[in-house]
Structure 1
């Protein structure tokens, strides 16, 4: 009887061990590809490699140690990954053509990396991460119609990095809500592109670098208690603008704006609450139509300081400080 009970227990343990083992690997090489993987519970892992043609791919993993990786090389790409809980991680590398990628990760140790790399064409990338140790990196390198959106909500550290190149009518939008938010956006080349950073919570840090383009705009909005820091730069751009708004009570507001070797650029900084500091530096070249730099800084309560330096063409400065 004891032997029977022992055997029964051993079988139960084996069954439980087997029940926890999700793993999936899909490889598709050519023509009308589509892949779909759904794994519901425990040590999830998914790996999809596709090489060419009318790609698809859809991965959903719900509970436990999720990891997903997808590599697609070419043609009409589209990828969606959705992971629900615990050690989430997602990596997408898509190398070319009509790219689109969508990642949603909800709870626990989220990380997401999307590269839609050198041969990229109709790029788009969305990442939505909901809670805990979020981290996101999007690089869309080969150019064309880049768009990237990152939303990270909750936890002690949200971090996002976006790099986009040679796009027109493109945008990079980051919304972060939580503590210790970090955002880094870099756009190189292109026209009529927008960068919009919205950080809510405490201890935000934002850096935007925008080089070699025209009619691009950068907006940074930081709101909440504690130390906000923003650094937005435009280099060799024409007709571009930077707007920074920092609100909330706390000892540290910080903003630095630099627009160099460009024309018809403008900067606007508004700071509200405790220990503000702002520096705007603009250096332009004469433009046939005239015009040029403009800087407006508004600082409200407590420890104000502002420095504006302008060189070249029809400069205008307005600084208002209050207590």
Structure 2
């Protein structure tokens, strides 16, 4: 024993972030690669697999063929199912997903509550219980008026299902509307055995502090999450919101500019250098298909070489035309 170190406490090794990439490949071949934690296909034409690590996401891609999104970790991966939930785990990381038919749960609020209750109950049994990032995809997200809007109903159910699980703070998150059928809800997440660091955007009001005009229940998510080793930033859905208000209604170009300004503010808040690179994949959710070529050209010009998955998705506010999320590796 080294003198003077008798009372030293060994610190746990910080987990290296999973690597997220986009690739045109055969899903079964990727699932057989060492360290594959999850594989995502996009749209109705995506190849299906019975492997619990596979998820067909109900968002159509504007590029054909649509690439796969692949999560990989440094170590062997186990996987299984628990009721309606599928999961995989390896190297201290956990993927979990659930898909529900809202008609079996008395609508959007009930399905959202059931999905989050199931996920939180499962996480409570796992060492990898620190949720870093959640994705939520639901149909007709903007349908309904006032508090009856489906997104607001989703927010109500999400909080009900969470219970006290996120008492220490909320993870990064995205909520987007798909066009695969109103009744289908998809929720999936990345969790780890060590906590990350929540990051807020100084240009925006924290989502859980939004005023009453945005619903009975405020959205519960952090703007980003720095993963435990500080080697990656998981970025929540980011749009042209300044303070708590949507900016540049009906102006796609201005919304894109504002969104990139918000992304740069997040990087600065996380202590990361400006800009994105070829190893930092992003998703762009575009409300109107006719806007997709402009969004693609804009991102290729402003973020040259950055992998971008261009998807048809409705933003949680009707006036917003585009939203970005993704990963920034240190």
TM-score grouping bracket, smaller chain normalisation: under 0.3
Q: Which has the larger radius of gyration?
A: 1
Higher fraction of helix: 2
Higher fraction of strand: 1
